[in-house]
Structure 1
Amino acid sequence: MKTGKKVMILLLIFVAAVIVYFIHPVGKKEEHGITEYTAMEKAKFPVLYATMGEREMAPVFGQTEERGVTADRGSLIVLPEDRKLKVRFAGTTKIQGLRYEIRSLDTEDLIERTQVTSLDAAINGDSENAVSAELLIQNLLETGKEYLLGVCASLPDGSEAWYYMRIVEKDQGHVNEMLALAEEFSSKTYKYSDAQSLAMYMETSPSANSSALGTVTLKDTFTQLTWGSLGVERTGEAYTKLKELSGNLANVEITTHVTAKDGEKTETYEVTENFTMKWASQRIYMMDYERTMTELFTGDSDLFSGKRIILGIGNGDGVHAVKSAGGQYTAFVTGRELWAYDSGENVGARVFAFGGAASDDIRDNVPEHGVEILSVDADGGIDFIVYGRMNRGTHEGSTGIAYYHYAMDQNALEEKFFIPSTEPFEELKDDLSVLAHRGTNGIFYFYMDHGIYGIDLKSLEYVALASGLTKAQFAVSADHSRAAWQENTGIWDSQTIQIMDLDTGDKTQLGGQAGSVSRIFGFVGNDCIYGTGDSGDYLMSNGRVMGVYLKSIDIVDREMKSVMHYEKPGSWIREVSVDDSRIHMKTVTSKDGFFGTYSADTLVCNAEILPGKTDDIGWYASDQKGQVLFVQLDRDIETAKKIRQASPKLAESSETVKPIETAACRETEFYAYGRGRFLGRFVEFSDAAETAYNSMGFVTAGRDRIIWVRGNRASASYIRDITSASRLMERYLDSFEINQTMEDGTFLLDASGSTIIQVLYFVGQNIPVLAYTGEGTSMYLTGYDQTHVRVYHPESGATEVLSMETANQVLGAAGYDFICCVPTL
């Protein structure tokens, strides 16, 4: 009997050891050559919950960065009337002390800094480490103005964690009503009978995809809204977050996990719902709704079938795959996790994940990070980066780029170095989508915060190749193997262009001729497109530089040989855009300025179509799931063999490579946001407004100053005192410096290229819009309703009402050339 018990105990110990090694090797260390491998440390930073009204809002996660340099537009808290903000900390670590500071959104101005003297055990805490406190915010805030609140928690090991959220002092009533509607809407979708009342919000469009569940909007079908035939159930908490508040317009996000049965198998999905709502005295209007869901990949054997790896339902965000030469090894990213498959050994490996389906710790699954595969070699070696917020491990709470190498033959994962970033995750993601490349010369090239950098993977020496660049001043080939950029001058004044082969490191200079300027336009395949003109030969409009006249367009291949030269004597090129293999141009025969007539011309290029990282991602239709994503393999999976899973050993690095501070960007950039997320940075306001428009979004000048909101416009408006309203414009008109902030806080906005509907937002804010109708002629937009636009002619003092159709004809013929002065708040 005793022997049997000993055998059973030994068996249990063996099983536990196997689970620990293959599934989650916590605390295990071993020597492999000179590299020490161990498990990634568990998250230690507590989680902060702030209370707004009667509800505890979505969690805020700790950062190591002070002053919120990487804080995004995540959480917004409307303070209670007495400005006593209740917060609760929960987690595996108990905080030892607490202080907070309030700054302007750009972090430059300190408003308040206070030490919290009283910490209490949280009544509704989920562990013995839960602590609550009350932040007694002083009466120093301007009503309606947003500030950045940074809460600093002292931890037992002497380190500190910072928690950032925006705060605003205003009435909570309408906000709480909109939060309640979002929560009610979300809950009703899970039960078909309850969801009938949601039909009033639907705007089903025949052009919508009626089968996908990965992304669902109000334009989709009611069946999709109610989860089709998936039969989902909400599991765990549903977290509500107020993302934005502008006037009576609010953006709310709800995140949760749901499960569904597929036969005997239970599948888990990550779900995010985003609501844009507008409060009115009679009802709350649902302006926009989007739900995304991603199936959490488990790596189970039944997901490997035929020539496919089944990923499940998803919206495609971040999903990509890279294969080795010959196709034996396939690396793929899904749900912010990196997986690898060896078809020779029939082994699947979960190479990297902070959490995912294997973790129930909310701190592991913070979504502000991504994974990008750089290369997969013929021996199964995978180079990749993890970028954004580090959820656990050595760099927990830091924002940046961690570079890893995985050796499949040894099942070993090694972090090479970490690069800290001063950009929030979504901006960093946007930058790395432009350039992140491991050259065959052993150098990692990337674009971050307006600079192009290169880091030697052996010596960790780095160089800043270019700085102060907007996306209008450089271009990268589709496979990220070539980059070209203008020197750090104005967009229209660069004499030279640098072109670099990011595999060999060879750099070539174009242009440089005295009295000439060069403009980079992009790549077609690996062929670089650029234009050449005379220095100072500007395209002008009423004293503003709108472009430069170019004499020729050239295309050069990887060997810097000319592929195409376009030039017509007596003709100039005033505008160029590249669309896949086509180059679209506007040409003129006389330099009549912005309002002169032009002809359209198109060049068609025969360039090689480069392979992309999503080429091997496909989908098929499922009766239960709708569209199901999969990775396409080059060879069949042997059905006789069961997929063996392996979790790699990990070696974390203490090497930190901090790129030098480079030249600042000279241009004001416009940030587009919509559906609760960052959509991109743009040099032209019109491009940002167009991007934000379809997502019921908004635009900021720089990172923090909101200047345009789509949904926050009245259906009709009229500026009654045009004399007073136009004083700012009259003050700056003769020396209008486009897209600049003046000493009094006025922002001089060039809105050229925007639609009338977009610029009428400013009229609704009592800001007249000056519309040029020719050189030296203009009129003000001063009012509107659903079908008409009111204009004021400053020379004659006359007021005129135009139909929307007529206004588009008149202003469209003049190129929709708008400017306005946006006053400081």
Structure 2
Amino acid sequence: MKKAIIKGVIVSFVFMITLFVVSNIMNKGNTDMTMEMGKATYPIISIEYEGFHINELHGYADAMEVSQMRESITPLGEGRKIELRINPYGRKIEEIAFEVRSLDGNRLIENTRIGDYEQKENEVIPVSFGLKDLIESNQEYMLVILLTLDDESVVRYYTRVVSTEEYHVNEKLEYIADFSRRTFSKEDARELTKYLESNADGDNTTYGKVTIHSSFHQVTWGNLEVKKESRSEIMIKELGPSTGSFVVEYYVSVPEAALKEDSSDTSDQAGEPLEEADLEEETFSMPQQKGENKKLYRIKEFYRVRYTTDRMYLLDFERTMDQMFEAADDVYANNKIMLGITSGEVPLKESDGGNVFAFVTGNRLYSYNIVDNKMALLFGFYNEDNLDERTLYDGHKIKILNVDEGGNVTFLVYGYMSRGRHEGQVGISVYYYESTVNTVEEMIYIPFYNSQTLLIEEIDQLSYINRNNMLYLKWGSRIYGINLMKRTCEVVVENLSEGSYKVSDSNRMAVWQKEGDSYGGKELVLMNLTTGKQKAIEAGRGEVIAPIGFMGEDLIYGVARQEDIVKDVAGNTVFPMYKIRIEDETEGVLMSYQQDNVYITDGEVIGNQIVLSRVEKTQEGTYAAIKDDQIMNAETETESKNSVEIAVTERFEKLTQIAVKTAIDEASMKQLTPREVLFEGERNISLPVFEGQAGRYYVYGKSGLESICTNEGSAVNLADAISGVVIDEGGYYVWTKGNRELRNQIMAIQGETVTEEKDSLAICLDTMLAYEGVVRNSEYMLKKGETVVDILRDSLPSVQVLDLTGCSLDAVLYYVNQDIPVLVMLNDGSAVLLVGFNEKNTVVMNPESTDLENGTVYKVGMNDSKEWFEQNGNCFITYIRNEE
């Protein structure tokens, strides 16, 4: 009996111990096995230039592919000097070094360790050094600054540098700083009216986006009581002899009472800037929003200016304003969540029943559970405890992939990671928010070594997850399928090129040409990424097909007869589609569009209609443009149960808010901040090796990387429209807006007259080749069937040949300004060379000229030249010299 009692006591004791241990383990799984995101730890570097604080640089944990690291350009001072200000944020800097490289990163020009610096506790470290006399003036290079920290990690910082005394940087910086300051006072801002281009193109109904075309009242903050709350951070984006592009970023506040009252006060003062003494503070200072009865706004100003000896010209101006939304503030009214002034669309995705939705504002992700009345901040690099220039840096984006009725959310964070386990890296994190335990868990991480702007542009084209946890992403010329559970990756399709694939707005459907180039596709593959099923759409005999786009989830594609496809003398393909079809994956062809002797050359989906660009076939067998036509979509989109809407107010003008399907009980609302789930090891996935795609062109504008093109003409046209630049794979300029002299002529080109043995096209080609020191018989090669582009590429391996058909005369004069001739093809098969220009005329070399007085090189009025070349299709061929 005694033994039985003892045994029972032991069993009970073991049971209690087991229960205690299990309970602790279970509790540990919910608490101790989670943590808050790690704080930002990397130092920040900025540049001091002629008294200006410019080019705030953020650190990278990995060595990056430098050719697309184009966030800033830094002018060097006299003697190629550069002055840094390093804010270590408490870290010990063990070593400072720098590298100077060519823009493509292949050539190391200088590698130097800096020994002359002193670090004092809690103080910014000033560092000054000069680059060796190994770089050319007025030529850009990549400067890589390397900091070795106290844990022996090496952090890299990137900026382009240029040594020049001809770019008038100080005058440009003074101009934009003065312009920005004056906007806060309507009296001081009167001076700005001569720079503005206020007209009907300006939207004067919102403070979210104000442009050079907005009214004076709008540019000077209207009736808003704004107060500047931080120092202006200036980033130099592009720099040339006459022009420059700059971004200025700072924060302002507006009294919270004013937002509530929204009175019709017409005070003449827009607000007040920070005192100049405050602007000189070395460290970033952001006031705490909570309890201060004011709303904070992030302001970004873009300037593009031109310097002349007479005056400064403002070529472009845009200011965006975005409220720093805080869910715990008084931002609820009935069934509305008030997000305030915003500069763009607010992404919102809801569950099937609409009881849970997630939205992104201020680059932070929130979810709201209507049934449980829970608002959760799912992700954001900044919060009240982590608020500085590192966490506020917007080098990343957030995309909501899925929201379910249980309140769980799957989302992407992609770009530069400001803090946490991937601090300083560029990549893609896939996160899962589990509502029941209020945790966020990283499912996979995909590292990249290209710039965040390039990654964001690629992922914005396609990123979709289905119910089987298959994630589809586009990168380069491939679409990848990633299994999140197995952490495996496969290539779904490769060899994609511009125009050969399309993705629906929802990203649920994708289509691509199975084989051949954009004009030789015999089969389209339509894929439903939700189910993973593929459908083949084949061309008929003697036909080819090409995708145009999607209307909703329905595919739009064109059919062309192979016999109708022709090439002009420049080698450009004319692709006339005689029939347009709209087809879905299950029901087949929904409708067809076809008219006698009418061909479609392009199509664009705008809202609920397809706009078709059309041509007619002439008796001579050529194609002549006719009026566009439209196809309307009668179907209406399914209305959301919760939606983003715009409210119009008197003082604040347009405000963004979320209309929730039921009223919100603010008093009982729970505010949640999830913790991050800890796990051992890594969950990294590396995509299969991709060497890159030759012939890609990167178009940069005011918003950074605007587009990636595989057609140089498309790239130049887009850059021309947005006043941007075109960069090749090596990071070198292909084209840039402005920075052109008033006149230039290639005096080495004298001209030659046609003969019976040699026509004008052959003479122009021979002249271009001879100008580059190459002798060829172009007449013979043309008769063999070689195109102009082929002849130039084969004969000039040291240049990059550019077919700029369809570009404007003004755009191609950029190359003449660089002392590069431009070949102009004419409809009758003849050609002329553009060899010069001034404000009123072009200078052409015309081998067929009969003007005995002026010979074959003569002036043509600028307007006459434009009309002449437009009537001949603006068919331009030129080149750029490859950097050594």
Fold agreement, TM-score > 0.5: yes
Report SS of the residue matched to 1:348: strand
Match of 2:272? none
Report SS of the residue matched to 2:55: coil
**1:744 and 1:824 in contact (8 A); partners too:** no
> Do residues 48 (structure 1) and 45 (structure 2) align?
yes
> Do residues 274 (structure 1) and 271 (structure 2) align?
no
- State the Cα distance separating 1:239 from its structure 2 match: 1.3
- State the Cα distance separating 1:515 from its structure 2 match: 6.8
Distance in 2 (CA, whole Å) between partners of 1:282 and 1:535 is: 58
Match of 1:330? 357
AA aligned to 1:92 is: G
Match of 1:376? 403
Match of 2:132? 138
**2:236 and 2:246 in contact (8 A); partners too:** yes
Match of 1:210? 204
Distance in 1 (CA, whole Å) between partners of 2:563 and 2:420 is: 54
Distance in 2 (CA, whole Å) between partners of 1:344 and 1:788 is: 71
Q: Alpha carbons of 1:601 and 1:200: their partners in 2 closer, same or farther (altered >3 Å)?
A: closer
Report SS of the residue matched to 1:544: coil
Structure 1 residues 416-431: aligned runs within 5 Å: 416-431=443-458
> Do residues 261 (structure 1) and 259 (structure 2) align?
no
Distance in 2 (CA, whole Å) between partners of 1:40 and 1:30 is: 20
Distance in 1 (CA, whole Å) between partners of 2:551 and 2:677 is: 40
Match of 1:108? 106
Show structure 1 runs of 5+ residues with no match: 1-28
AA aligned to 1:55 is: F
**1:729 and 1:820 in contact (8 A); partners too:** no
Q: Alpha carbons of 1:450 and 1:52: their partners in 2 closer, same or farther (altered >3 Å)?
A: farther
Report SS of the residue matched to 1:302: coil
Structure 1 residues 220-619: aligned runs within 5 Å: 220-263=214-257, 265-316=293-344, 319-355=346-382, 359-487=386-514, 489-511=516-538, 517-533=544-560, 538-548=565-575, 550=577, 552-559=579-586, 561-565=588-592, 573=599, 575-580=601-606, 581-582=609-610, 584-589=612-617, 595-597=622-624, 602=629, 604=631, 606=633, 608=635, 616-619=643-646
Match of 2:768? 728
Deviations 1:82-119 (A, max 9, x none): 22323232123122112221111111222122223333
Match of 2:260? none
- The CA RMSD over aligned residues, in Å, is 3.2
- The partner residue of 1:770 within 810, 823, 827 is 823
- State the Cα distance separating 1:356 from its structure 2 match: 5.3
Distance in 1 (CA, whole Å) between partners of 2:296 and 2:816 is: 48
**1:412 and 1:650 in contact (8 A); partners too:** yes
Report SS of the residue matched to 2:97: strand
- The partner residue of 2:809 within 751, 756, 762 is 756
Q: Alpha carbons of 1:31 and 1:491: their partners in 2 closer, same or farther (altered >3 Å)?
A: farther
Which segment is superposed worse, 538-547 or 512-521?
Answer: 512-521
**1:70 and 1:422 in contact (8 A); partners too:** no
Deviations 1:38-91 (A, max 9, x none): 111011111112332333423201012214448531121111222232323212
Distance in 1 (CA, whole Å) between partners of 2:678 and 2:813 is: 54
Q: Alpha carbons of 1:391 and 1:779: their partners in 2 closer, same or farther (altered >3 Å)?
A: same
Distance in 2 (CA, whole Å) between partners of 1:282 and 1:488 is: 57
AA aligned to 2:822 is: V
Report SS of the residue matched to 1:691: helix
Structure 1 residues 642-653: aligned runs within 5 Å: 642-651=668-677
Match of 2:34? 37
Match of 1:182? 176
Match of 1:62? 59
Q: Alpha carbons of 1:711 and 1:541: their partners in 2 closer, same or farther (altered >3 Å)?
A: same
- State the Cα distance separating 1:665 from its structure 2 match: 2.4
Distance in 1 (CA, whole Å) between partners of 2:417 and 2:563 is: 47
Q: Alpha carbons of 1:34 and 1:211: their partners in 2 closer, same or farther (altered >3 Å)?
A: closer
Q: Alpha carbons of 1:275 and 1:585: their partners in 2 closer, same or farther (altered >3 Å)?
A: closer
Distance in 2 (CA, whole Å) between partners of 1:612 and 1:688 is: 37
- The partner residue of 1:705 within 719, 732, 739 is 732
Deviations 1:312-358 (A, max 9, x none): 112116x2111112222121101110011122222211111001566
Distance in 2 (CA, whole Å) between partners of 1:192 and 1:429 is: 39
AA aligned to 2:114 is: V
Q: Alpha carbons of 1:475 and 1:615: their partners in 2 closer, same or farther (altered >3 Å)?
A: farther
AA aligned to 1:145 is: Q
- State the Cα distance separating 1:551 from its structure 2 match: 5.7
Which segment is superposed worse, 720-729 or 252-261?
Answer: 720-729
Q: Alpha carbons of 1:367 and 1:78: their partners in 2 closer, same or farther (altered >3 Å)?
A: same
**1:50 and 1:88 in contact (8 A); partners too:** yes
- Normalised by the length of structure 2, the TM-score is 0.82
Q: Alpha carbons of 1:349 and 1:537: their partners in 2 closer, same or farther (altered >3 Å)?
A: same
Report SS of the residue matched to 2:255: strand
AA aligned to 1:223 is: H
**1:296 and 1:357 in contact (8 A); partners too:** no
AA aligned to 2:870 is: G
> Do residues 74 (structure 1) and 71 (structure 2) align?
yes
- State the Cα distance separating 1:783 from its structure 2 match: 4.5
Match of 2:94? 96
> Do residues 747 (structure 1) and 828 (structure 2) align?
no
**2:750 and 2:857 in contact (8 A); partners too:** no
AA aligned to 1:302 is: D
Deviations 1:136-157 (A, max 9, x none): 4221111111111111111222
- State the Cα distance separating 1:195 from its structure 2 match: 2.0
Report SS of the residue matched to 2:207: coil
Deviations 1:591-635 (A, max 9, x none): 967x54365674626474556999932222222322211122222
Report SS of the residue matched to 1:236: coil
**1:301 and 1:643 in contact (8 A); partners too:** no
**2:515 and 2:523 in contact (8 A); partners too:** no
Deviations 1:704-761 (A, max 9, x none): 2223222323455555554389843676975543797986542211111122332333
**1:468 and 1:663 in contact (8 A); partners too:** no
Match of 1:633? 660
Report SS of the residue matched to 2:177: helix
Which segment is superposed worse, 365-374 or 279-288?
Answer: 279-288
AA aligned to 2:631 is: V
Calculate percent identity across the aligned residue pairs.
Answer: 26
Q: Which has the larger radius of gyration?
A: 2
Deviations 1:352-411 (A, max 9, x none): 100156642211111111111111111111111111100000000111111111123332
**2:196 and 2:212 in contact (8 A); partners too:** yes
AA aligned to 2:768 is: L
Report SS of the residue matched to 2:168: helix
Structure 1 residues 154-169: aligned runs within 5 Å: 154-169=148-163
Q: Alpha carbons of 1:600 and 1:189: their partners in 2 closer, same or farther (altered >3 Å)?
A: closer
Q: Alpha carbons of 1:795 and 1:35: their partners in 2 closer, same or farther (altered >3 Å)?
A: farther
Deviations 1:215-258 (A, max 9, x none): 11221111222212222222232212221112221112211111
Distance in 1 (CA, whole Å) between partners of 2:104 and 2:536 is: 38
Q: Alpha carbons of 1:308 and 1:687: their partners in 2 closer, same or farther (altered >3 Å)?
A: farther
